[in-house]
Amino acid sequence: MKIEIFGKGCAKCERTEAIITETVKRLGIDAEIVHVRDLNEIVGRGVMVTPAVAVDGVLKISGRIPSESMVRQWLSK
What the chain holds in terms of domains, given with CATH numbers, is 2-76 (3.40.30.10)
pLDDT band per the 50, 70, 90 thresholds, residue 9? confident
Which of 3, 5, 13, 53 is labelled catalytic?
13
Residues 14-73 pLDDT 10s: 999 999 999 999 999 999 999 999 999 999 999 999 999 999 999 999 999 999 999 999
Which of 10, 34, 43, 49 is labelled catalytic?
10
Three-state DSSP class for residue 54: strand
Is 10 one of the annotated active-site residues of the chain? yes
Is 13 one of the annotated active-site residues of the chain? yes
pLDDT, position 76: 86
pLDDT, position 71: 97
**Which residue type does 52 have?**
A
* 77 has pLDDT over 80: no
CA 60 to chain centre: 8
